Structure 1
Amino acid sequence: MRSRKQAEGAKVPAAGRRAPEFSGPKAKKTSRNGVYAFSFTVFAVVFCLVIALFSSMLSVLVVLGAAVVATLATLSVRVAPQWERVVVLRLGKFSRVAGPGPYFVIPIIEHVAARVDQRIITTAFVAEEALTADLVPLDIDAVLFWMVWNPKDACVEVEDYSSAIWWAAQTALRDAVGRINLAEVATRRAQIDHEVKEILDEKTRTWGITVVSVEIRDIAIPPDLQDAMSKEAQAERERNARLLLAEIEKDISEMFVEAAEVYEGSDKALQLRTMSLIYESVKDKGGLVIAPSAFGEAFNNIEKFLK
């Protein structure tokens, strides 16, 4: 988690503005130079053929006519990249989905309504001040991975499917966060991701869009609440440490009581313990050791004791 000040750079675009599809490293767009080169080639070939056919009567009108015929040919014969599908309308009604590869369009009667990219698209979005179930405002940064599987529905059923799924994702994230408490947000990220994905799938199914995954990148909480949570966590750790220490002391005291009962019921055990203490005190230092007379009594009648 990070503070609200650190999240100021990830603001939600104003209403009516389209959100950026990716706010991370600059994306490398796939080149469409091949499509443009194909159109230019068609124009050049048709233009040259017309000029060659009417070379004997070459004039300004012939050149203009050749340009018009070449333009119509360019508008009629087109090509779509492998990842692209083209929605074609005929007299305002849906006709077909063309591509990939070359396709034909009847000028004036037909026109291209949309070019739909069917690759997985990455969209970053932010839910600002989303309220949890215990009314704590959070700034949540997330990434949405989605793709268009039905170009017809994406073109016909929604005006701007890219912006629509961005706003739907933001709303779904707010709904999912509003069902849980603050303490559960950090520990239930995977569940929130799954819930947002299910909500979006239900909304976008009729748009011809499928949501691949939703991943929360960051959660920003208010700074004052961060301090309170930090103090609460420290107090909880100190409490656990004190409880553990008390349990250890209790176990040690119980073992001491059991040892005292054993020594009380057996003089031999007490004498062995006394001799062990004397040995431990002199094994490293050596030499003469001055000890209370009670320690010396442990060695009285040692032969009888060993028997």
Structure 2
Amino acid sequence: MLDELLTAVAAAGSAGLLYVVSAARVVKQYERGVVLRLGRLAGEVRQPGFTMIIPFVDRLHKVNIQIVTLPVPAQEGITRDNVTVRVDAVVYFKVVDAANALIRVEDYRFAVSQMAQTSLRSIIGKSDLDDLLSNREKLNQGLELMIDSPAVGWGVQVDRVEIKDVSLPETMKRSMARQAEADRERRARVINADAELQASKKLAEAAGQMSEQPAALQLRLLQTVVAVAAEKNSTLVLPFPVELLRFLEKAQQTAPEHAVERPAGM
């Protein structure tokens, strides 16, 4: 009798242990558990930690709630100003409602990917090339709104959408390079012309000042000669002042007159 009782207790313990092992589940910190009981949603979403289900009746589905980085394949389209481009992007999203993500959409990752591709093509057709190249922040916000609106019903929240790269045809790249080169050349010419104008004004002022003082003109000429000689490492040649030549010429004209008057006085 005692043996039969021990056997029954052992069998019950084994069955209970088997039941606990079959019913025990562990939900990780970055997961949420959704229980389907005979195909229907049962109770609240299970939080992280140890949980129990009814074996062979309940089925626990674990949904990852981490932020997902989803690359969007490059989409080719024609911009509003008739330029063919290829644009790729990346979408950051996460599950905020595990039950809806499991029940309302078959594969929320695939659904978000397809929505991102169609939204990206729509943005390309509505934007100019300059907007795609320089105004990406505004386009990113537009993409985020277009993807997030239907994703809310799937229990998914879009955190951020970023346009990664805009590929242009080679002909367009060459045209843009020529345009940029022409713009840089134009700005260089404007700067040079402005510098020449300012320099001419300063030279005119300097010439006006030197015309009042001839000696200043001679000093400036000497400074220029010294600077040129130092730069070229050549022999310095000093100019002979014109005023000195005129003085010597007058001295030569008066010298014979004094020489004639001396014998007459004797």
What TM-score do you get using the length of structure 1 for normalisation? 0.66
Kindly indicate whether residue 218 of structure 2 is the aligned counterpart of residue 274 of structure 1: yes
Q: How many residues align?
A: 237
Equivalent residues of 1:148, 1:209 under 8 A apart: yes
1:295 Cα shift? 6.8
Within 5 A, what are the aligned runs for 1:181-260? Answer: 181-260=128-207
Change (3 A) 1:258 1:153: same
State how far apart, in whole Å, the 2-side matches of 1:233 and 1:239 are: 10
Q: Distance in 2 between matches of 1:244 and 1:213?
A: 43
User: Residues 83, 258 of structure 1: CA spacing in aligned structure 2 closer, same or farther, 3 A cutoff?
Assistant: same
CA positional deviation for 1:154: 1.0
By how many angstroms is 1:117 displaced? 0.1
Contact 1:127-1:174 within 8 A present in 2 as well: no
Kindly tell me: are residues 236 and 295 of structure 1, through their superposed partners in 2, closer, same or farther at Cα, counting changes over 3 Å? farther
Q: Return the offset for 1:124.
A: 0.8
Structure 2: 5+ residue stretches without partners = 1-6, 248-266
Farther off after superposition, 90-99 or 79-88? 90-99
1:155 aligned onto 2:102: yes
In the TM superposition, residue 252 of structure 1 has moved relative to its aligned partner by 1.7
Flag the structure with higher helix content: 2
Identity of aligned residues (%): 31
**1:213-265, CA deviations, whole angstroms, 9 ceiling, x for partnerless residues?**
2222222111221122112211221122122212212222222233333444x
The structure-2 alpha-carbon separation of the partners of 1:181 and 1:146, relative to structure 1 and needing over 3 Å to count, comes to: same
1:292 Cα deviation from its structure 2 partner: 5.1
Query: C-alpha distance in 1, partners of 2:75/2:40?
Result: 41
Residue correspondence of structure 1 range 60-71 to structure 2 within 5 A: 70=18
Does the aligned pair in 2 maintain the 1:81–1:101 contact within 8 Å? yes
Q: For residue 11 of structure 2, what is the aligned residue in structure 1?
A: 53
The reply to whether residue 139 of structure 1 matches residue 82 of structure 2 is no
Deviations 1:89-123 (A, max 9, x none): 223322231131222222344323x3210111111
1:103 to 48, 51, 65: 51
Give, in whole Å, the separation in 2 of the partners of 1:175 and 1:73. 53
Flag structure 1 segments of 5+ consecutive residues without an equivalent. 1-48, 55-65, 300-307
Query: Relative to structure 1, is the Cα distance of residues 231 and 282 closer, same or farther in structure 2, using a 3 angstrom cutoff?
Result: closer
Shift of 1:147: 0.8
Larger radius of gyration: 2
Higher relative contact order (CA 8 A, sep 6+): 1
TM-score norm. by structure 2 comes to 0.75
Q: Which moved more, 1:89-98 or 1:232-241?
A: 89-98
2:63 to 111, 116, 136: 116
The offset of 1:275, in angstroms, is 1.9
Aligned partners of 1:200 and 1:211 also within 8 Å: yes
Structure 1 residue 176 displacement after superposition: 2.8
Change (3 A) 1:171 1:201: same
| Secondary structure of residue in 2 paired with 1:185 | helix
The one-letter code sitting in structure 2 at the alignment partner of 1:291 is P
Take 1:260 and 1:148, find their aligned partners in 2: how far apart are those partners? 79
Q: 1-side partners of 2:23 and 2:8: how far apart?
A: 16
Q: Letter of the 2:109 partner, please give it.
A: S
Distance in 1 (CA, whole Å) between partners of 2:209 and 2:47 is 92
Tell me the secondary structure at the aligned position of residue 126 of structure 2: coil
Root mean square deviation, CA, Å:
3.4
DSSP-derived class of the 1:273 partner: helix
